[in-house]
Every structure is written in structure tokens, then in C-alpha cells.
Structure 1
Amino acid sequence: MAYMVKPRDLAPAVTSPVPVDTTLPRACVIGAGSSGLAAAKALYLAGVPFDCFEQGPVVGGNWVYENPNGQSACYETLEINTSCPRMAFSDFPMPEDYPDYAMHHQVRDYFEAYVDHFGFRDTITFNTKVEAVTRSATGTWIVRTSGPAGLVVREYDAVLVANGHHWDARWPEPAYPGEFGGEQMHAHDYRSADDLRGRHVVVVGMGNSALDISVEAARVARSSTISVRRGQWVLQKHLLGRPSDQVGLPSWMPWWVIRAKFELGAFLSGDVSKHGVPKPDHRPGQSHPVQSVRFRDLVKEGKITPRPAIDRLDRRTVHFADGTESPADLIVWATGYRVTFPFLDRALVDPQDNDLPLWKRMVHPDLPGLWFIGLAQPVGAVMPIAEAQSQWAAEILTGRYALPDQAEVRSRTRADHQRNKRRFYESERHTMEVDFDRYLWDLGRERKRGARRAQERRTAAPAAGALR
């Protein structure tokens, strides 16, 4: 791949191994998708001793089409919903010849180049599954893995969980009444137009994947119907001749000003409820944004038929709440994902209804040393957030940042969680929602505060003791 970037934006390549400081706390990174790579790179450059375990044989996680690890939801037409400059890591821009919104294979290549540029591929142990993570009596973390080396148990001072949250498919619970005689699949298992070709397709949901699949069905299926229980504001990917997310405001601006930008974007994009899609019952900016270039036109042209929530199923017919019905050979449930951690005992971590309050969406307030990287649903891309969180974790492990006491962490976690709940409408989809720019600004302020605390405590306990 010809990797063309602006030299002034690109960090120097790492061409020789970075020395490991064995006096520092030891860490474990779970996963080598976008968030796990950010974590591994930050720890590697900081000289922190760590292991990174990836269940499959390649890096890139969800952005690898037909990833052998079996967890990827990537489909043939998938492209990013955040523009390339806003999605890229801060010291490794995406190539100049990429389009405004890159395709999945371009993002995969970007991650491969990122790993090689910073020279940390050898720190990743591939084809190795994390079976269990438990806490010892002394507060360290015991990690059990299985792979080519067999069953291995190791001890760590910190665990960085980066296993992603778009892999454990959530189906309707309870199931809709009636019996369906066609095929059903979750959007996680959708791969290409071949799954839809020549069939009557009903897509359930109105997230980005649902819109993409319904658009593809309009091209190759006998009919394309989308069932929408709750309307969304469908935004354009370009506004005023630029990628819409590059028409920004300073991150320190109050939320009502940021929301006004979303309302302007929704107004300029147009109201799809004029064409039969249920009207949103919330204001723009109060939900995770959905974007589509073609969806609006295809609904207007009658090539995608919008319907309300499903009432019942009857063989090869889907009946809707307004009394209408559609033929169906295939139902695609684009109904989201459960946030789960199969390697953590539910008595230790149990996200009820996808709700797991964390301080700054990373630090578990009651389990020192258990950190979650990229466990956020940002109004923007997760990669820069995972990068900032990973740098923060490296600062904690090297002693350059000092956490507040546990009582303050718990108090601030509750306050942040309640603020985010007020900002976004209540649903399982929005339990982890954050505003991209303001989150990075806020975390940057906290990292500076923690650096001052660390300086004040420089004669106190070493970094390993600060984790427990």
C-alpha cells in the first residue's frame, strides 16, 4: 500500500525495540482491534511491561471483513461514518489519497500500517483467547488464556479491556408473537448483497447498519422494507461542501451550543418523516447520529418502504402496528448489541441493560487496575478516545499521573454518568454515549490535574501501590 501522509503530522517511525522498564507495574491488554492497538502502542512506547492477547490471527478487529476471530460485524459496503481526519490517531494520519469516508479495507490497511510504523507487532500474542480474569486476594489480576501455548495463567497489576462492544448480538426480547417461515439473521452476520438478492427483505432498526442494509436491499432485493420503532434524525455526510463532522465548534462550548449545531445539521439534511419514517421524539444531538447518503432518496422514490414497529409475524408476512403488512423472505434484525465480558465473572462486572458506569468511561470505580479502553459510543469516532484513554493508562502505570482517592472517583463517576443520561435519551444504545470533542477536552484537563497530584505525591508509594 502506498502510504501517503503529510510528514509534519506523522510521528517518527519506531525502528528499534523500546526498552521495557521491569520496575513498572505489569499490564494485560485484551484484544487487538482499534482500541487494543491504541493501548498496546501507548504502553509499548512508555516502556511498560505488558502482554496483548488477540483471539484471531490478525489486527483490526471489527474492521476486518470475514475476520477469522469470528467477532467482526464488517460487511462488504461498510464505510466509516466519521471523516478520516477525525477518526485517525493523533500521530498517524490516514493517507491523503483516502476518500473523505474510508472503506473498511482501507481502515484495515491503516491499522496494519500503524502497528508496523510504531513497531509493536511482536507484543501481540495472536490466536490466544482470554478465558478468565479474576482478582487475587492482594488486588492483582489473574489472567487465564488458551492458545498455541496451551492453558497459561499469568498475574498482572492492571488489565486493559479492549474486546469491543459490537460483537454480542442482541435479538428482540421477548420475541415477537407468531411464527416466521423465512430466514432470520442479525445484522452482525450480514455480509453482502448476496444475502439479500431476489428476496423480500424487512430490516428492523434505524441505526447506521440498518440504513446501509436497507439501501443495499433496495438495489438487489425484490422489496426493501424498514421497520422503525423509534425515529431518528438522518444526517448527511457532507454539509456546505465539507464532511459534516468537520464543521465544528470549540470543545469547551456549553452543550446547548453544541446541540444547536446538530439541529442545524438536521435541518439542512432534511426531515425523512415527510416520507413516512416515524418522526423522532427527541431533539437532534440527543441520540447517536445516523448518516446515509442514499436512504432519504430511496425512501422518497418508494424503493424503501418505511413501516412502524412490528406487531406480529405470520409465515412469510410481517404485520406492523399500524395495520399494514409486508411480504418477507428475510428479516434482518439490526437491533444492536449487548455489552458483555465473557472472561469476567458477572459477580465482578455485570452491565445491566448495557449500563456500566465508569469514570471517564475507563476507570472502574470499585476495581482498581481494571480499565476499559474504547467502551464508549461517541458522537464521533472511538479511535481518538481510545488513544487518549490509553495514554492516560500509561501515565498511571508509569507514575506520571495519580488517581484521586476512591471516594472521589466514585462521586465523580456518578456525576458524569448522570450528566450523560440527561444529555441523551434513555435506551440501551445510549448508556455509553459521550460527546467526542468535549470528552477529549475534559479528559485532557483531568490528566493535567492528575499530573499535578503525582508531582505532589512523588515521595509517596510507588506506582504499583497506587493501583490498589
Structure 2
Amino acid sequence: MPYLVKQRHRAPAVTAPVVPDSSLPRVCVIGGGSSGLAAAKALYTAGVPFDCFEKGTTVGGNWVLDNPNGQSACYETLEINTSCPRMAFSDFPMPEHYPAYARHDQVADYFNAYVDHFGFRDRITFSTTVTEVTPTADDKWRVRTSDADGDTVIEYDAVLVANGHHWDPRWPEPAYPGTFEGEQIHAHDYRSSSQLAGRDVVVVGSGNSALDISVEAGRIARSAHLSQRRGQWVLRKFLLGRPADQVALPGWLPWWVTAARLRLAAVTSGSVAKLGLPQPDHKPGQSHPVQSEGIRDALRSGRVQPHPGISRLDRQHVEFADGTRVPADLIVWATGYNVTFPFLAPSLVAADDNDLPLWKRTVHPDLPGLYFIGLLQPIGAVMPLAEAQSRWIVEQLIGRYVAPPRDEVRRQMLADHERNRRQFYSSARHTMEVDFDYYLWDLRREQRRGARRATRTSDARGVASAPVAR
């Protein structure tokens, strides 16, 4: 069944308090954003003892405008690019009165309601930063945290990393030649159109944020320019009168069907290359989808001027690869993010140009007990996938799932990584790409296989085949 259908039931009554089972492994969750909340809820309802540490004072992560944790890239016009039913957690639908694509404040309210509905807010420690995570000699993990009262060190059986991957700005490297006397900001620092008002703005990038900021600049800036080195297929959010991601056939579908749907969306949306942006040199489906309802009108009206990549900066001007030159006093670099883990030693885990192969985008085969939640870029929303990852991890923690041998884990990991590399063009943007529906199907299949391995393991030990805690 497609994920959308599973969203149509109403949420159950508020969950009764769950008492942690001290015989189960003790777990640390890093982050109180959407992925950390999915992990915390799965652990809480299963009775697994855990601590969740959030750097800021509220839940919601990237969806909280001016989040006190300083890591949110949220801006005033931000709304989801995945429709509400496809973004919501499976057992907690978004309110029926929400629009097809919710605003950032509605998403933040949804996450707060999710926490309160399942009753685990008191399990989240706010205003606390995880500063160091190190393995111990006895296969545990030592976690150092810092708050207003100082540092604390606690040992855990497992650590679930959910610190997000849209908070460490990625700037052009190497920097463009020349000097610039105006202001330069990364899209991570953009909050509202007031930063653009009355200015000569150049936005650099081809993702969703770049298009959103360009549309706002076209509305309020003195002049607005959009620079792209590489073209993208820009899809509309609605297809055949419905949210585009809800126009799909039921059940699991192979990747070529998903790619065909994206090609249909690209054709019906119309080519932005006809409006002056670069012609994409890849097929629809070979890059992460970009969506915008406003960029075509902004380009067509001339409010936003399209340009190729930058060749150099010249004090109060920007020169482009085609020789054109425009005045500028603000450059907005919408050039993506680095994947970093400031609490993990680079010798332990390092993403080489954002490339960090993981089994099912969750498990590092050489680091048992360390799991990554939401460290993927789906053709769809992260939240349902983070939920599925969290449930899978909980099954392992409580003894209902047994992983295959490490060599098989590594083999599968490399095979999946290579398949994704073939499906998407090579860039730091696509190192974590997955197909939403296939990922959920594949993870459910692995859970069933692991459950059978757990039963065989229990039977071979001469104990009851019922689930056991490790």
C-alpha cells in the first residue's frame, strides 16, 4: 500500500505514560528536530530508556523560525515541498484544515502536538549541547554534554544521531576571483524579505531555497538576479489538480516508474530554460526535485533576471560567464550544506564531500551501536523515513530483529550506494538521495528478514521464540 493511504486515519487518543524497562539498552538521541522526535517517540512507546538532548529551547529543528539553537535555516515564506499526507508520521496525521503544503509555523505546531500527544516532552533535555561522542572498550558509547551548569558524561548502549544536515553552510570553494564590497550571506542566514528590500540582489543556486529567495527579491528588491551554473527541472507543486506527489499508482513501484512520473511532472510544468535559465543536462529524476510556483511568473515578467554562473566579483558588480555584468550590493549564496558531526572525531566518521555510505542510510558497519536518523535526501519527505528507521532500530534494541553478518551488511551498503550513484548525477547534493517509496518497502522487507533471523537465533539457543531483550 502506498504511504499516502496509511495517513488517512485519525490519530489515536493521547498515549498513556510508558515506564522505561531498565533491562533494555540505554540510548542517547542527539537532536530535537523532526528526526530526533521520531526516534524519541519510537523509543518511548517501546519502553526503551533514553535521553534526548536538544541544543535549543524548543522542538522542531529546522522548521522553527529563529530557532534558539541557531541552526535553523527557516525563513518567513518557507513551506513544505511535500504535501501534508506524505510528510506526516504514520500514526499522527496533520490537521485536516492545513493547506496541501503547510507553512513552517504549521509544521512546527504539528511537531509540538506530536510530542504532547505521545507524552515524551519530559524526556527531552533542552539547552544542552552534545559535545563529544566516543566509543568505549566494552562496545558502549561515552557521551559528553554541556549546559549552563557545566559538562556531564554518561555512557550509553547506543547513540542515535539526528543533528540534521541543513545547518552547516556550504560556501563556494574555491571562492570566486575578485573582491566584493557589498554584503554576502548564505541562504541559511536569510529570514525575511526585509533583508532584500530596495537592494540589488544576486541569488546564486538552483535549489528550492534559491528559487524562493529569488521570487521574494523580484517582488521587493531594486533589482533581482538569479545565477545558476547548472540547470534544473523546476516542477510545479500541483499536477492534474492535485498535489504532485499524490499523483501516483498504488503499491511499490520500481525506480523507472518514479522517474517517469517526474518526467511527466517536468513536461507538464514547462521548461524554465525557455525563460532564460540553463537547460538541464540531465533527465528529470536524475537530480533531487526542485519545486516552485512563483519562479516562472517572476522570470516571465522580468522581475527576476536569469544568468549563468559567476565568473568574477568586481567591487560593486558581479560578472557572469556570458560576459554580462550587473550592479549588486547583496549576494545570497544558496549553495547547500555540509554534512558534519561536530561531536564525532573525523577519524571515526567523516563525510568526504558529503559522501558517507551507510547501510540503509542508517548503520555504519564498523560502528555498532551508532545509528544515523534522517541522514538522507528522499524523493519525498524525510519524516516518514526517519520514523521507519527509528522503529527498525527499536526492534533491534529490544531483541526482535537480528542484522545479517557484517560482511553482508557491507556488501549491501556498497551495492545500494553504487545504485544511487548511477541514478543521480554526481554532486554533493546527491550523496544521500533515496527513492521514498522504495526505501520504505526495502526497510520493511529487511525488518521481516531480521525478525526471522531473531526467531531462529532464539530457537537455536533453546529458549522461547518470543522476542527477547539483548
Q: What is aligned with 2:298?
A: 298
Partners of 1:149 and 1:49 lie apart in 2 by 24
Cα deviation code 1:239-293 (max 9, x no counterpart): 1110000001345322222211111110000001011100001000111101000
Kindly indicate whether residue 427 of structure 2 is the aligned counterpart of residue 416 of structure 1.
no
Give the letter for the 2:14 counterpart.
A
Q: What is aligned with 2:441?
A: 441
Partners of 1:328 and 1:7 lie apart in 2 by 49
Kindly indicate whether residue 331 of structure 2 is the aligned counterpart of residue 326 of structure 1.
no
- Partner of 1:9, secondary structure, is coil
Partners of 1:323 and 1:251 lie apart in 2 by 50
Partners of 1:214 and 1:417 lie apart in 2 by 34
Deviation at 1:325, TM superposition (A): 1.3
Q: What is aligned with 2:12?
A: 11
Partners of 1:464 and 1:233 lie apart in 2 by 48
Q: What is aligned with 1:142?
A: 142
Deviation at 1:147, TM superposition (A): 1.1
Partners of 2:161 and 2:116 lie apart in 1 by 22
Alpha carbons 2:218, 2:304 under 8 Å: kept: yes
Partners of 1:259 and 1:48 lie apart in 2 by 39
Flag structure 1 segments of 5+ consecutive residues without an equivalent: 1-5
Alpha carbons 1:249, 1:258 under 8 Å: kept: no
Q: What is aligned with 1:130?
A: 130
- Partner of 1:51, secondary structure, is strand
Alpha carbons 1:184, 1:332 under 8 Å: kept: yes
Give the letter for the 1:143 counterpart.
V
- Partner of 1:429, secondary structure, is helix
Partners of 1:169 and 1:448 lie apart in 2 by 39
Q: What is aligned with 1:93?
A: 93
Deviation at 1:11, TM superposition (A): 2.7
- Partner of 1:458, secondary structure, is helix
* CA shift in 2, pair 1:464/1:399, >3 Å: closer
Map 1:24-39 onto structure 2 (within 5 A): 24-39=24-39
Q: What is aligned with 1:245?
A: 245
CA RMSD in angstroms, aligned pairs only: 1.4
Give the letter for the 2:295 counterpart.
F
Q: What is aligned with 1:182?
A: 182
Give the letter for the 2:390 counterpart.
S
Map 1:307-346 onto structure 2 (within 5 A): 307-346=307-346
Partners of 1:319 and 1:403 lie apart in 2 by 54
- Partner of 1:354, secondary structure, is coil
Kindly indicate whether residue 41 of structure 2 is the aligned counterpart of residue 41 of structure 1.
yes
Deviation at 1:137, TM superposition (A): 1.0
Map 1:16-415 onto structure 2 (within 5 A): 17-250=17-250, 252-415=252-415
Partners of 1:9 and 1:452 lie apart in 2 by 32
Deviation at 1:7, TM superposition (A): 9.1
Alpha carbons 2:253, 2:437 under 8 Å: kept: no
Alpha carbons 1:203, 1:334 under 8 Å: kept: yes
Deviation at 1:149, TM superposition (A): 4.3
Cα deviation code 1:278-325 (max 9, x no counterpart): 000100011110100010111111111110010000011100001111
Give the letter for the 1:61 counterpart.
G
Give the letter for the 1:174 counterpart.
P
Alpha carbons 2:23, 2:469 under 8 Å: kept: no
Flag structure 2 segments of 5+ consecutive residues without an equivalent: 1-6
Deviation at 1:366, TM superposition (A): 1.1
- Partner of 2:458, secondary structure, is coil
Cα deviation code 1:84-120 (max 9, x no counterpart): 0000000000000000000000000000000000000
Partners of 1:448 and 1:19 lie apart in 2 by 27
Partners of 2:400 and 2:48 lie apart in 1 by 12
TM-score where L is the length of structure 2: 0.96
Alpha carbons 1:24, 1:463 under 8 Å: kept: no
Give the letter for the 1:9 counterpart.
R
Alpha carbons 2:254, 2:438 under 8 Å: kept: no
Give the letter for the 1:14 counterpart.
T
Give the letter for the 1:12 counterpart.
A
Alpha carbons 1:201, 1:221 under 8 Å: kept: yes
- Partner of 1:393, secondary structure, is helix
Give the letter for the 1:184 counterpart.
Q
Partners of 1:9 and 1:422 lie apart in 2 by 39
Partners of 1:11 and 1:355 lie apart in 2 by 39
Partners of 2:258 and 2:131 lie apart in 1 by 42
Alpha carbons 1:73, 1:187 under 8 Å: kept: yes
Give the letter for the 1:334 counterpart.
A
Deviation at 1:464, TM superposition (A): 7.3
Q: What is aligned with 1:3?
A: none
Deviation at 1:148, TM superposition (A): 3.8
Alpha carbons 1:24, 1:464 under 8 Å: kept: yes
Partners of 1:440 and 1:8 lie apart in 2 by 19
Alpha carbons 2:224, 2:303 under 8 Å: kept: yes
Deviation at 1:463, TM superposition (A): 7.1
Alpha carbons 1:397, 1:463 under 8 Å: kept: no
- Partner of 2:338, secondary structure, is coil
Partners of 1:58 and 1:381 lie apart in 2 by 21
Give the letter for the 1:335 counterpart.
T
